[in-house]
Amino acid sequence: MGEEREREREGEQEREYPSPMDLHPRARRLWTESAFQVLARARQLEAEGRDIVHLEIGQPDFPTAPNIVEAAARALRDGKTGYGPAPGIPELREAIAEDVSRRRGIRVKASQVIVTPGAKAIIFYTVNAFAGRGDEVIYPDPGFPMYSSLIAHSGAKGVPLVLREGTGFRFDPDEFRSKLTERTKLIIVNYPHNPTGGTLAPEDFAVIAEEAERRDLAVLADEIYKDFLYEGEFASIAALPGMDRRTVILDGFSKSYSMTGWRVGFGIVPERFASAYELYNVNIASCTATFNQYGALEAVRGPQDPVRAMVREFRKRRDYLVAELSKIPGFRCAPPAGAFYAFPSIQGSGLASSVLATQLLDEAGVAVLSGNSFGPGGEGYLRFSYASSLANLEKAVTRLKEHFTKGQAPATASERKGS
């Protein structure tokens, strides 16, 4: 899938416009997030009277904590509905700087914090700030689909770094080094990882840091799942010696505080680049919704018990789902170390990922994502989000077992290929 998109992108660079009003080729280089496509199909089936178990969206099913809701509501009542400072309200930037400094063991100033309307903005800003046509950006495969989409849109060449189950979805150091060229400008890392739930070891961070320092490269560290770690302690690559001056940290409030619809994210940017990120906000969004930032401020400064309670519950769900998926013929599921996704191998089923994902939705009423929607490296896997109630997980498992005990016919050649 990624290679086909790359060929299409390169062809579009040479294509002439059919008319003066045709879209620029860069507009055709963007693609969507598959989770929303599957969600739309699932909603359509529900409108037709079907009962669907939603395990496709990475959205915590916990409500936003009442103290956070009240803080935003109070801000609305107090008239905090106008434009705010482009990089974020000072109180929130200071609170984030203090929290990041304490939790990651690095020294962060409030001036380095750029608050954005959702964390995806930091991906867009970073890719476009550091790379363009003729440059290369290394990103994980499988990985969050917006990495490759926004790299392509920038005009740069995406260079996928395959993550494999045999190493716990860590990368191979030699393979990583072989991907680096004189055109490499940016390295994207995401741990805990979406979609696999994998994490990196200290020696992995050391390899990236060594090459980034030697080649003077920027690193985008997507740490949005930092709180969802079930084994070991969270560590940021920015804490390694010298890496704070070349690492952009991506984080936000959607996952940890169950604030997906609030659209409040942030970046921790090396100080010399912060003004450029502020200008991106000015040009694209003006600012992040002011009253929502007061809710985010309460999230950082207020009690953290709801976060810890959610992570404890997710651990229980992870353990249940992994154990049950491993019992299904053709499935193999290693326990994810972080995030809230199970990424079982379905190679034993003999079906392509997209074929099986479609079958499970249409025939079993279970919405999951095809592994190859996260890149070619995800073929042979499915992604299950366990950010859903244990009752829903139990219902999904029951339906899966029923589906696989119906005596399914052997997969055809086209089903194995997904064509």
Last residue of a domain, one of 282, 301, 320: 301
Work out the number of other CB atoms within 10 angstroms of the CB of residue 120.
19
State the pLDDT confidence band at 53, using cuts at 50, 70 and 90.
Answer: very high
Task: Report yes or no on 126 lying in a domain.
Answer: yes
pLDDT over 70 percentage in the chain: 92
d(C-alpha 329, C-alpha 367), whole Å: 19
* Nearest of 268, 223, 267, 214 to residue 242 by alpha carbon: 214
Task: Report yes or no on 21 lying in a domain.
Answer: no
CATH number at residue 167: 3.40.640.10
Q: Based on the fold, state whether residues 157 and 281 are members of the same structural domain.
A: yes
What does the DSSP assignment read for 265-302? EEEE--GGGHHHHHHHHHHHTSS--HHHHHHHHHHHHS
Q: What is the pLDDT of residues 259-270, one digit of tens each?
A: 999 999 999 999
Highest mean pLDDT: which of 52-66, 291-305, 344-358? Answer: 291-305
Q: Based on the fold, state whether residues 277 and 349 are members of the same structural domain.
A: no
- What's the domain count of the chain? 2
Q: What is the pLDDT of residues 178-216, one digit of tens each?
A: 999 999 999 999 999 999 999 999 999 999 999 999 999
Identity (one letter) of the amino acid at 264?
Answer: V
The mean per-residue pLDDT over the stretch 96-105 comes to 96
Question: Under the phi-then-psi rule, with left for phi > 0, alpha for psi from -120 to 50, and beta for the rest, what region is 272?
Answer: alpha
Domain that holds residue 321: 31-63+306-405
State the pLDDT confidence band at 419, using cuts at 50, 70 and 90.
Answer: very low
Q: What is the pLDDT of residues 132-181, one digit of tens each?
A: 999 999 999 999 999 999 999 999 999 999 999 999 999 999 999 999 99
d(C-alpha 23, C-alpha 372), whole Å: 28
Last residue of a domain, one of 242, 273, 301: 301
